[in-house]
A and B are shown apart, each in its own frame.
Chain A
Amino acid sequence: MKPPKFAYHAPTTVREAVELLAELGDDVVVLSGGQSLIPMLNLRLANPTDVIDLGGVDGLGDVAARDGGLDVGAMVTHRQMETNDLIASTAPLAQHAAGFIGYRAIRNRGTIGGSIAHADPAAEWPAVVLALDGAITLTSAEETRNVAGDDFFESLFTTAKRPDELVTSVHLAGRFQDNWGFSEFQRRTGDFAAVAVAVGCVITDSSVVEARVALAGVAERPLRCPAAEQALTGPHTGGAAEVAAVARDSFEPVGDSHGSSEYRKRLVFAETHRAVAQALGSDIESIANA
């Protein structure tokens, strides 16, 4: 229950960090907040030769407005996401979702960049990134590139990030700030989501002109639900239950000891129902037909 031996590196700039990544090979892990990595080290699920600690790297902890949205530095903590005024005004979905992550002590240290690089399919940030048309900025010694959230998350703990790249920031679009929804079911407060649903809409003249519906906990990666997005787009009728039914019928979640596939489908309905109703500003209808 103690971390294995590793060589420790504490760079002070992104440049130094990515040069270390390039130099040290594949068996290197990056430590940001450590709230997933250190348990993995303690349990010896990870046994890296080297750990690169981003704690002392300058310039990864800022939140800045850009192109109507936000650039969020990789080392911004969940707690900062929960309490930052710019997040609250420009990406209120992200501010709301942050409060669902773990416990306060976890949120005080865990970071958005760490969570996104880790890519747990039940985590909140990957789903929020999909719902807010987010993009991930990756930096290596050679280049800096932006990858759309839709292309970034590939599978269980697997992303488009190359081993020599660092997640340096996350862009979240601002155009969903008026119509968004988030709902999540946790077995116990602070657990990873059994199912979480994040919704971003753009509504013009009582018509939904853009809809993004993203789910965590239903597959090996966070997924958007194109059929539900299509059902949600168009004249604003407030039919959240219809959208939820489409979402439910779009997934075949794998059952496990925490819940059968059928149970998870019901959760998809219930959480999508709540999140869509919140985004539309409508009331929750009876879920007796779930």
Chain B
Amino acid sequence: MREITVTINGKPTSATVSPRLLLSDFLRQDIGLTGTHVGCEHGYCGSCTVHVDGASTRSCLTLAVQVAGRAVDTVESLAPDGEALHPIQQAFQDCHGLQCGFCTPGLLMSVAELAGTNPECGRAEIREHLAGNICRCTGYHQIVDAVERALVALREAQVDG
């Protein structure tokens, strides 16, 4: 067992973990943040995507011990008070960018990264960026619509702000 301290959604958190514990299981079971979904558990589906030091990361391909001293942000960080939706979440709702919702947390975190690194991108780049997030319900069209709308909303918020 190892002692780790991780900043999770802005809050420093200490825990004792087994080295073989995956970050995904650490977040869900030890910390109780069940917004991060576990699909394939070998890095293919993207449902478990979180941010480590601001960069999207498969939490099922990361050991909890590897994030010692780092900052982890999960989907819960997008709407911290649990009430007002983040503009990305709002756009997914408005455009019907989800159906069963299983893949949605991972998609939202991938889109949050895209909004930070390539906020002006078009549909082709959106599709390429989201290639690592599998959705079996929507057929992706509404997801791409939602991301386009979210990027516009975030740009406008930045101009207004």
Contact check: which of A34, A43, A79, A105 meets B49 at CB < 8 Å? A105
CB < 8 Å neighbour of A104 from B19, B25, B66, B129: B129
Measured CA separation A74–B147 after assembly (Å): 35
Interface residues of A in 3-20 (CB under 8 A from B): 3-8, 10
Residues in B neighbouring A35, C-beta threshold 8 A: 43, 58, 61
Question: Of all chain A residues, which has the CB nearest B18?
Answer: A5
Nearest residue (CB) in A for B49 is A105
Set of chain A residues within 8 Å of B128, measured between Cβ atoms: 189
Known: A53-B66, A105-B49. A3 touches B20 (CB 8 A): yes
- A65 CB–B CB distance under 8 Å: no
- Please, which residues of chain B bring their CB within 8 A of the CB of A105? 46, 49, 55-58, 110, 132
Q: Whose C-beta in chain A lies nearest to the C-beta of B106?
A: A105
Look across to chain A and name the residue whose beta carbon is closest to the beta carbon of B60: A42
Distance A10 CA – B63 CA, assembled complex (angstroms):
12
Kindly state whether residue A147 has any CB partner on chain B within 8 Å. Answer: no
A239 interfacial by beta-carbon distance below 8 Å: no
- Asked whether B20 lies within 8 Å of A39 as measured between CB atoms, the reply is no
Complex CA gap A105/B23 in Å reads 14
Expressed in whole angstroms, the Cα–Cα distance for A5 and B127 within the complex equals 38
> Are B20 and A53 closer than 8 Å at their CB atoms?
no
Chain A's closest residue to B23 (CB) is: A38
B19 touches A8 (CB 8 A): yes
Min CB distance, A95 to chain B, in Å? 16
Give Cα A238 to B132, complex, Å: 37
Chain B residues in 8 Å Cβ range of A102: 132
Chain A residue nearest to B58 in the complex (CB): A105
Whether A109 contacts B20 by the Cβ 8 Å rule is no
Known: A39-B43, A105-B49. A34 touches B57 (CB 8 A): no
Given A6-B19, A38-B62, also A104-B2 (CB < 8 A): no
Asked if A104 and B43 sit within 8 Å, CB to CB, the answer is: no
B62 interface neighbour in A2, A10, A34, Cβ under 8 Å: A34
- B22: which of A2, A5, A104, A190 is its contact (CB, 8 Å)? A2
CB contact between B131 and one of A4, A34, A42, A188 (< 8 Å): that residue: A188
A8 to B63, CA, bound (A): 11
Known: A42-B41, A105-B56, A189-B131. A3 touches B63 (CB 8 A): yes
- Identify 5 residue pairs between A and B in the complex whose beta-carbon atoms are under 8 Å apart, listed by A's number: A35-B61, A103-B46, A106-B58, A109-B52, A109-B57
Q: Hey, which bits of chain A sit against chain B, CB under 8 A?
A: 1-8, 10, 31, 34-35, 38-39, 41-43, 51, 53, 55, 79, 102-106, 108-109, 188-190
Other than the given A53-B63, A103-B132, 12 more pairs (CB < 8 A) read: A1-B42, A3-B20, A6-B20, A10-B65, A35-B43, A35-B61, A41-B20, A43-B42, A105-B132, A108-B56, A108-B57, A190-B131
